[in-house]
């Protein structure tokens, strides 16, 4: 079902690991926007920042913005309420 491939340094990959690597390489050509409220109890800010760094290290044009006082859901409220909705729409228009 899965093929096995060997990396340049001799490490063999197969199955889900190989599929994940394939998806990461494909994603590197598409821009990414990550947003997070500073009061998000679901996801640690450090994890989001690391995800952005990992994507950038793979060559992805990754952007990140944080929103003071917003949680996992309220982060998507309109900009007039301190949320990211307006920024998301602007980013989508710029990257379409």
Tens digit of each residue's pLDDT (9 = 90 or more) over 2-48 = 455 555 555 555 566 666 666 766 666 789 999 999 999 999 999 99
Tokens in use for 19?
A: 């599929």
Non-local CB neighbours of 15 within 8 Å, separated by 6+ positions:
2
**Helical H runs in 58-84?**
none
pTM of the model: 0.68
Apex 44 CA angle, 43 and 48, nearest 5: 85
């Amino acid at each position: 079902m899965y093929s096995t491939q060997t990396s340049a340094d001799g490490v063999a990959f197969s199955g889900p690991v190989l599929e994940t690597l394939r998806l990461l390489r494909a994603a590197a050509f598409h821009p990414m926007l990550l947003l997070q409220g500073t009061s998000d109890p679901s996801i640690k800010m450090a994890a989001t920042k690391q995800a952005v760094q990992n994507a950038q290290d793979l060559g992805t044009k990754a952007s990140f913005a944080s929103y003071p006082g917003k949680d996992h859901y309220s982060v998507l409220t309109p900009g007039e309420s301190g949320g990211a909705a307006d920024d998301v729409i602007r980013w989508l228009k710029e990257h379409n």
